[in-house]
Structure formats: C-alpha cells, structure tokens
Chains A and B, each alone.
Chain A
Amino acid sequence: MMRKVLLGLLLTWLPLQVFAWNWRTRISLSLNDQPLSAICEKIEKEYGIHFSYSSDVVKMSRRMSIDVDQMPLRRVMELLFSENGIEFRRIGDQLVLTASKATTRTISGYVEDALTGEKLIGATIYSPALRVGTTSNQFGFYSLTTARDTLSLLVTYTGYSPAQIPLKDKENRQLHVKLGPSNTLQEVEVTETLPQLQEQTQMSKVNLSVSQIKNMPRMLGEADVLRTIQAMPGVSGGMEGTSGIHVRGGSPDQNLILLDNTPVYNSTHLFGIFSVFNPDIIKNVDLYKGAFPARYGGRLSSVVDISMKDGDMYKYHGEVSLGLLASKIMVEGPIKKGKTSFILTARRTYADLIMSDFTKRELNLGEDGEFFAYFYDANIKINHIFSPKDRLYISAYGGQDNMSLNRNMTFDSMNGTAKRYHEEMRFRLGWGNQAYALRWNHIFNPRLFSNVTLNYSQFYFITEYHYKHLALDTPAIRESDNMFGRYMSKVQNASAKIDFDYKPNPKHAVKFGGLATWHIFQPGITSFNNVSDEQELTDTAYNNQTSKGVELSLYAEDDWKIRDSVHLNLGVHTSGFLVNNRFYFSVQPRLGFRYILPKRWALKLSYTMMTQYIHLLTNNATFLATDLWVAATDKVPPMFSTQVALGLAKTTNDGKYEFSAEGYYKSMQNVIEYVENLDNFNSATSSWEDQVIQGRGWSYGAELFLQKKQGNFRGWVAYTLAWSQRSFPNVNNGSIFPYKYDRRHELEVVLTQRLGKKWELSCQWQYSTGMPLTLPTGSYEQITDPSPHLPPTTNDPGQVDLVQDRNTLRMQEVHRLDLGATHTKTRKGLTYILNISLYNVYNQQNPFFYYYKRNEGTQKRELTMMSILPILPSVSYALRF
C-alpha cells in the first residue's frame, strides 16, 4: 500500500518539477492596451511558460488590457484568447496557440421587394436542412446565426415567389435578399406572412396585411384599417358604424396606436366613423392584445403598430382614386435610384365642395359666405440608404377634421321686423393630429442592429368664433358688437428612442433599448374678447395653463430557446414619469412561455403588467375629439393592469390554416369615470380631479380564431366570449357593473373568393350580443319657477327622468352582412380597380340609441330605438400607374 502511494506522489511530482507550471499556476499581471503577442512575451518571461504559434495563422496583433492578481493560468488563457478566435492547448512544456474553427456563422441583411425595394416585414428566412430560421424585423432586417456549413437558405413571404439562396462560403456575411412578387391577381401589395404560430412565443397578436384591409367590404367606398381590426377576436367596435376599438374590455384611450413608431392620439375622422390611416400608405399592421413585448409601454390594453411603406426605389408609381366620400392620390418613386425613395399620399372628402352653393343658400351665408366641412390627411415618407449599414427614414403625417362657416351679409329685416344691419360671422370647429418621425437604422455587426427614433406628435381641438354686428340706421340706432372667442385643447409629445436587436447565438434573441418622452398638456384654454359700442367688456383667458411631464423607460427582453420544444420570453419594461414635481415609477415584467406539444401544437402562456401615466377625460357615450388628455396626479394616480393569457396555436404544415385559442384575465387599477351630477367637461380646470372618480376594472374571456391564409378562397372566423366589468365607489352603490362596451358573444366571419384573374368577392358577417344600456327607471315632475303666477315657458315643460344605476340593461343583439366585389383590369401599364360594396345587405335595423320620445298621437312618451346605417351601397374607382 505504501509503495503505491509513493509511486503516485512521484508520478505527480515529477512532471511538476520537469515543466515548472500547470493550469493552476497563479498569474499576476497588469498591462494596458498591449498586443496579445506582448502579453504572451511577458508571461513567458515572468513564469517561464513558452508559447508556440504561427503569426500567419494566429492573429496576435489584437490589443488588450489585462489586470489579474493570482488568477489560475487556465482562466487567464480563456480571458485572453476565447473572445479572439484563438484556441490553446498544452503540448509538453509549451502552450500551442491555433486559430479556432468556428462551428457557426451569422448571415444578416435586409429582405426587400425586387421591383420596388420596399422592405418586407416578417419575411421568413429558414434553413430547411437544419430547421432553424428567423423573421425580418420592422425594418426588414434579419440576422440568422446557423451552422457554419449551412448550404442554402429559403426565404419566403406571402404574395412573393420563395427564393432559395445558395451560400458559397462559410463565413459571416451580409446578404440582402430580393423577392419577386408572385404573378397573381393581387395588386403587388406588401403583405405579411409570419412564421408558423407554433414557431412564435408571442401570443395575443394579430397581423394584418394591406390586402386584407383593402379586400374587406367597404363603407362609403373607404377601406379602413381599424374597421378590419374590429373583425378580429378580442376586439369590439364601439357604437354602430364607428371605428373605435375596445380591446379585451379596455377603453380606446388605453390603446397605444403607433404610426412609424410615433403615437397618434386620436385615430378617427368624422366623429369616429373612419380611421385617420389611409390604407394606401400602410405596409404592415400588428395588433397586440396582450403578451406585450417589453419594448412597448404607456397604455394598458393594446398596441396597434402601423408601419408606413418606404416608397419604390426604382420606378415611379401612382394611384388616383375616387370614392363616394373621399378622393385620394398616392405617388411614390425614387429620388435617387436604389438610394433614396419617397411616397406621398393625400385624401380629402369633397361633399362640401359639391354642395357649396346649396349650403350657402340654406344657411343664409350671403354671396361672400363660405362653408366647408371636410376631413383630410396626408402622409409623406422619405427613405435613404447611406450605406449597406445605414438607412434613414423621415415620415410625416398630418390630418384634420374641419368645419368652418363664414357669413358676411347685410340684412334689411330681423325676424320679420324692418331693421338694417350688417353681420359678419366666422365660426370654426376642428381637430387633428400631426406626427413626425426621423429614424436611423444602423447595423453594428451581423448580430447587432439598432434603430434610433426622434419623433413628435400632437393632437389638438379648436373651436372659435368671430362675430361682428353693426346697425346701419345710425345715428338713430347705435349698435356695434365685435366678439371673439376661442376654445382650444392640445396634447403634445416629443420622444427620443433607441432600440437594439441582438442575436448573440441561435438560442437567444435579445431586444433592449430606452425611451425618453416629453409630454405637454393644455387641457382646455378658453379666451374671449368682447367690444360693444367701442367699450371693451371682456378681454381674458381662462385655464390658460400648461403642464409638462417627462417619461423615461428602459426595456430588455430575451427570446430564449431552452430546448427545441421549450421557449421562454423574459422581459422587463421599467418606466418613470415626472410631472408637476411628482415622480411615479413602475417595473413591468413581461413573460412569455411556449411549449411544443405532440403534433406540433404550441401551448403558450404569458404574463404582463402595463402602466399608463395619462388619462382621458370623457363623459360621452362614445369617445370624441373634445375629450381631454391629462397627466396623472396624486389624487388621480396612473392606471396599471395585469394580464395573464393561456393559449394553444398551430399553423398547418402546408401553411394554409392557422388556428389559435386563448383565454385571458386582465385586471385594471385606477381607471376613471366622470362623477354624477356635473356639467360636461368644458375644460380641465384645476378642479378636474374632483369631477372624476377612480375605480377598478376586470375583463376575462376566451377567443377562437381560425384563418385560411392561402389559395383563392381565404378568410377567417373569429369568436369571442368576454366579460368586462368596472367598479367605482360612487357608481351603482359601489357594486360591480358591466363596462359600457361589454359584449358577451361576438362572432365575425370574413370570406374572400377570387374569381378568375379579374374579380375578387368578399363578405363579412358579424353578430354580437347587445351592449349595456342605461335608461331612466322612473320619471317625475320638474320645476323651474318659485311661483305659478309667472309667465309660463314657451317650451314643453317636460319632466325629470330618474337616472339611477349605469349599464343595468342591454340593447338588442346586433348582426349585419356586408358584401364587396373588386374588379381589377390592367391594360397598357395602367391598372383599373373598381370596388362595389353593399353595407348592411339585409337592412338589419341594429340599435344605435334608445330614448323616450313623445308620441304626438297618444301624447305619451314611448321607449324608442333608433337605428342608423341602413342598406348602403358604395362605389370607388382607382387608377394605378
């Protein structure tokens, strides 16, 4: 036994004595910015460790700094060589250095339309042999780290011919992929495709293509992105005919609507009937109903992320269209071929122009009078490629709803009595958004992509009058009035944002970044000037106050492939809001989990928290441009929500069908409602906090979605079962009551069928449970005078309607069928597109409003249901060149 021990000690001790060093030898070294060769020489000199390498093969010129104290030799070697592509091993008493043989490489670049240069969002880049892939991001950029010996990549995108890209060498490289549109009836639209649902950890997300939006049956000839979103599961429309969206029981102010990364505060024209987004400028729309990625924040219930087209890099194109409601124009093309492109769209309603003479006559505006009532919007985007690694995008949106009326007229009588006077009156009512964005993409290396955004957005509402009255029978009658009044509200923000996409290895896809936003709130400034008989009676402004706030946020998320069947998305969004010397802070975890079940079904789970620092003051049944944005205060703190969702999803192997089923539960804190018994909000004066109350909200339900995405026959069926509730201390005695857009069942069926090469037919049928309703529950006599002996009112004295609990009743159910047909013909380079739509085909009288109306026959007040939007045909015609 003793002999064996001695032998072992000898064998161990001898090499140590012979070679003088081992991997545990302690090294202390401090060198600053030295080439690797110099560092090795130093180690060799001080510790007698000999390095052997070929300077032709091993790059030892890389400069490094090192500062270690008593660190084992192996750790020091790893520190020096691992990140520099150098392998080390011991042979005898020498450390032999060789160039490491990488087992992976990274292919990165952009995917774009071969004809127009338009970047394609969500294209799939896939290695069929290795079954690994990725998708292009919002800017068309992709990065795929795959096996070094990958021979080819398959790049696919719906509406485009797939491309098989051979990879000749085995190095990291930048590879820009150009896809050619497939030869179909469809206009060459940039349309979406996403990897199969089971390949995404993301859930509660819907992607919309422009062709989906444009092929839906139209109302008044206008395709509408928000109306298409309404047809998705988990999304309710507001009142009949409007394009407001209520996502999983949230209110419209809880939707973050982004246009090229810039928030748009008011997303509708014409009191909510049409959205402000012209479909001709839209490239891609993503709707997040839950499972919010960490990069989004600031709203509770949804994110609608709309990307604008970049414009054709190679050829000029245009489109002119004429609908019943609006005319549109779109022009795009290169400013410098292959380098710089632009796209410009504009639309305006024109009914006021056609009916100008009629309205002037009816409204007694005089010969010089004017009447305008219209909305317009315009978008422009310029896209410039500085280098293969740098691109710049400038985009701008401006839109307005406007009604103006000018009268300039001399009268000979007033109300039937002779009186000469001159009246000049100008009245204006308008609101609108402006949004500007400057974005710079930079590729640091094949694995790291960045985007810097500077943007500005504002929404304003304004109404004003100028009124002049001058009696002409002077000096007998001296009367002159000169009055001016204006009411204005505005909300603005300016942001600086940086986002990074980093793909360190095939198992991780990391996104991180930060955002700083400056908010400015002017919730209702009123000013007046009144000069009567040359005496100034009023010259003042009320609530002329501006509050400012700064919102800062940082985020990071990692899409982590733990195993082939297990994926985790770990993210966090932190934000702080500084306003009026108060600071609010929140940490919002964002978690996603995906597990692949047998037969390639994906089980998904998500947990997200969201915080919203701004409130919308409204006391309407619907949301209007007059509503006021205000910042959170101590008394009315920020809103926050928590949402969990569980779902199953699968895309069939042939890619034709998608199916998803999700259940969700969302709770909301500090949602607000108006207080009873108070006047409409005219402006958010310093007492606005006393006019609202805070409460809680809950929504939960299930959503089923089946979609056919390929072939001549396409469409989807969406079913939603939902509950949405609110509770406020002073409303309905503090008990839980249904949210005003709570709908128990909603079913949407959207189908499109191509017929030959020229026709495409579409139909949409929707059904939903009636919305909650508040109606008087009694009535009683009213009083206005202290004495019955005073002269009676000239109006109907009426009665008081007893209004008690909110939303305790329900309207009747709603259902409607819409049809559309699109005919496309191309001749001599021109494409002619005719769309005919029929809204509410079977003329269903859906409830819009209930009220008590006096029946002149019986002299009794009867509960009356009002319906709008009967059967409504429309035609639009477009010419594309």
Chain B
Amino acid sequence: MKAIKWHIIIFSLLFAACEKTVELDIPYEGDKLVLNSFVQPDSVIYLRITRSQPPGGSEFPEVPGAVIALKAGTETLPTQWSIIGGKGYFVSVRPAKPGVEYNISVSAPGLDTITAKDTLPRRPLLSGPFAQGGGNRIKFVMQDMPGVDYYRFRLYQGIKNANGEVIPSERRLYRFDPSYNNNFTDMLTENYLESTLVPDDRFDGRAITIVMQTKDVNVKDNILLLEVTGLTRSSWLYLKTLELQTFNQGNLLVDPSKVYSNVVKGYGILGGVNTARLTVEVK
C-alpha cells in the first residue's frame, strides 16, 4: 500500500499541472462583423449579427442597426429584427425554399461590409425506427444517395404539441457506432454524445442500419425524435472544424486549429442545412 501511495504521489507530481494567468501582447486587428446563420428549407431564416472581440472574449455585442441585404436567388428576402430568448435576430419574413442560392450582404457603420453565400443540401431519407422500453438503444435505417453527402445526427426527447405534432423537448445523449465516426474511445469511456458529424464516404449510395446506444434507459411509450441533418460543404466544414477546435480546447498535444468561415471580410457562417426527423415510439 505504501508503494501505491508513493507512486500516486510521484505521478501526481509529474503530471500535476500548475496554472497561472499570464498576459501576452497579442495583436488584435479590431472588431469585425460576424454573421451566423444556418438556412433550413421551409423555415424562416434567423440571422445573428454580432461583433468580434479581442482574444478570450465570451460576450459579443449585437449589431441591431446592421443593414441586411438577403437574396434567395434573384429574389430579395426582407428581414425584421426580433428578440428571441433574450437574443436579437434578423428574421426573414418568408421561409427559405430549396433550389436557389442564398446571398447576403451585411453592413454597419464603422465596420467592413461582409458578404456570404451558400445553397441548400438534400434531405436525408430515414425509415425503420425501433426502440424498446427497458432497453438503451434505438435503431433506424438511412438511405444515402449517390454523391457526396455530409450528415449531422442528434437525438431528442420528443413531445406532442397542441397540434399533435411531435417536437423536440430536450436533447438525449447517445453513443454512435465507431465504424462510422471513428471514435474508438467512446466504447472505452463513458462518453456520450449530443451530436455526431459523419460524411458518407463509408456508405455512399447505400442503405445502412444504424444503432445508437442511449445513455438513459428507454421508457415505454416515450417518444424519441431522431434528427439527421444534411449539410452543404460549407456547413460541414464549419461544424467539423468547430467540433475539432472545441474538442482540442486545452489539449496539450495539438496546436490551436482554425474554424472555417465563408464570410468575406468578416467571420461566421452562412450555411445551408436540411433536417429530417424520425419519430421513434418506444415500444
């Protein structure tokens, strides 16, 4: 037992990280406009316009006075300022529709005018949902179409609204099959995920059966809502590089990584997404 203690002390000392706050003179190029929006077909477009901040910032001032010029193809989409959940958004007055390119220009006094564009991806095809009360898995089939596709998987607890539609109420955690996302250590650790990004290069053009292992045991008659979102390449690059940067935060062994942006003269993303949802009734 003494030997164990001695080893624990030594290895604690070795890997004991001592941290202290330091100040370095880091050059900052000044505030820039930040545009964040994922465009979902058949939904109004929510545009979040903020200012960038010096390194270490965690609060980002909104720019309610920004001038927005949003176009769906050649058609101009007017927007109006709305406060939702305490945050300000420019919201389009009409929903987005597929098959056109979305272009945006945002300007504000004292800041560079920014531009961005993207299209909308195709919607994933889901079927065959299965979940069992007392179990901790859900199973479904996804039909991939030939060509390059990028997907994001998420799982929600579903509830029925007044219209009898199932809507997401809270996020559920799960583990994904490592043969699609390469996360070997998910099986080793008690690491459950909120979302998974997977390209289709391992199942292009095929129908695959996917099994998710949920963190919590499924309760009979509950409703789960599986969400699979098709992503454009811009949306994929943004979300993937954001995931990488978040995952590597505080990782001693890697350099800080860049997050993709398709906003010219500013930062952020204007990305097309297309979400499909599958209601899974726990039997």
Contacts and interface: CB of A to CB of B under 8 A. Distances in A.
Given A791-B170, A845-B18, 18 more contacts: A271-B253, A355-B8, A415-B215, A477-B134, A677-B260, A774-B255, A779-B53, A779-B55, A783-B48, A791-B171, A799-B57, A801-B259, A802-B52, A803-B245, A859-B58, A867-B20, A868-B14, A872-B14
A774 B134 CA distance: 49
Given A535-B209, A793-B194, A845-B20, A528 B56 contact: no
Contacts of A801: 55, 245, 256, 259
Given A800-B267, A809-B24, A419 B217 contact: yes
A676 B210 CA distance: 31
A793 B17 contact: no
A793 B171 contact: yes
Interface string B12-26: 011111111111101
Interface stretch (B64-72, B101-109, B143-151, B180-188): B180-188
B105 to A, nearest CB: 18
Contacts of A477: 132, 134-135
Interface string A771-804: 0011111111111111111110111001111111
B182 A526 contact: yes
A414 interface: yes
A824 interface: no
B244 A680 contact: yes
B267 A802 contact: yes
B240 interface: yes
Interface string A462-503: 011101010101001111010101010000000000000000
A872 B46 CA distance: 55
Contacts of B27: 777, 808
A868 B16 contact: yes
B264 interface: no
B253 A775 contact: no
A769 to B, nearest CB: 15
Interface in A328-354: 351, 354
A788 B135 contact: no
Interface stretch (A184-192, A290-298, A846-854): A846-854
A620 interface: yes
A594 to B, nearest CB: 43
A778 B52 contact: yes
10 contacts: A415-B217, A471-B134, A528-B178, A532-B139, A779-B58, A781-B34, A781-B50, A801-B259, A849-B252, A864-B21
B46 A465 contact: no
Contacts of B275: 786
Nearest to A221: B10
Give the dominant DSSP class at B's interface. mixed
Contacts of A799: 57-58, 60
B177 A538 contact: yes
A748 to B, nearest CB: 23
Contact of B208 (A271, A537, A774): A537
B136 interface: yes
Interface in A854-874: 854-855, 859-872, 874
Nearest to B182: A682
A662 B270 CA distance: 56
B53 A778 contact: yes
Interface in B222-240: 237, 239-240
Interface in A173-216: none
A863 B22 contact: yes
A430 to B, nearest CB: 13
A694 B247 CA distance: 27
A67 interface: no
Contacts of A320: none
A400 B169 CA distance: 49
B221 interface: no
Given A779-B58, A861-B56, A677 B38 contact: no
Interface of A: 220, 239, 271, 324, 351, 354-355, 358, 405, 414-415, 417, 419, 425, 427, 463-465, 467, 469, 471, 473, 476-479, 481, 483, 485, 487, 526, 528, 530, 532, 535, 537-538, 540, 542, 619-622, 624, 676-677, 679-680, 682, 740, 773-791, 793-795, 798-804, 806, 808-809, 812, 845, 848-855, 859-872, 874
A866 to B, nearest CB: 5
A787 B184 CA distance: 32
Contact of A868 (B15, B26, B52, B257): B15
A531 B46 CA distance: 42
B185 to A, nearest CB: 8
A689 B246 CA distance: 26
B256 A776 contact: yes
A855 to B, nearest CB: 8
B254 interface: yes
A677 B239 CA distance: 11
Given A355-B4, A537-B208, A621-B253, A427 B50 contact: no
Contacts of A463: 184
B242 interface: yes
Nearest to B30: A778
The 8 closest A-B pairs by CB, nearest first: A528-B179, A783-B36, A786-B38, A786-B40, A779-B57, A417-B217, A780-B52, A861-B56
Contact of B60 (A405, A483, A781): A781
Nearest to A272: B253
A458 B56 CA distance: 44
Contacts of B19: 853, 864-867
A852 B273 contact: no
Contacts of B55: 775-779, 801-802, 852, 863
A786 B270 CA distance: 10
Contacts of A868: 14-18
Contacts of B268: 780-781, 783
A783 B156 contact: no
A358 B8 CA distance: 11
Contacts of B32: 778, 780
A799 B19 CA distance: 22
A853 B257 contact: no
B48 A781 contact: yes
A794 B132 contact: no
A690 to B, nearest CB: 14
Contacts of B259: 677, 782, 800-803
A374 to B, nearest CB: 13
A781 B36 contact: yes
Contact of A809 (B18, B26, B40, B171): B26
Interface in B142-200: 156, 168-171, 173, 177-179, 182, 184-185, 187-188, 194-195
A740 to B, nearest CB: 8
B64 to A, nearest CB: 15
A872 B13 contact: yes
A677 B258 contact: yes
B80 interface: no
B250 A851 contact: yes
Contacts of A535: 209
Contacts of A677: 237, 241, 257-260
Contacts of A619: 254-255
A682 B52 CA distance: 32
A863 B21 contact: yes
Contacts of A783: 36-38, 48, 268-269
Given A324-B10, A778-B52, A358 B43 contact: no
Contact of A791 (B23, B169, B179, B241): B169
B94 interface: no
B36 A777 contact: no
Contacts of B179: 483, 485, 528, 530, 537-538, 540
A232 B22 CA distance: 31
Contacts of B3: 354
B78 interface: no
A799 to B, nearest CB: 6
B123 interface: no
Given A220-B10, A786-B273, A868-B15, A791 B56 contact: no
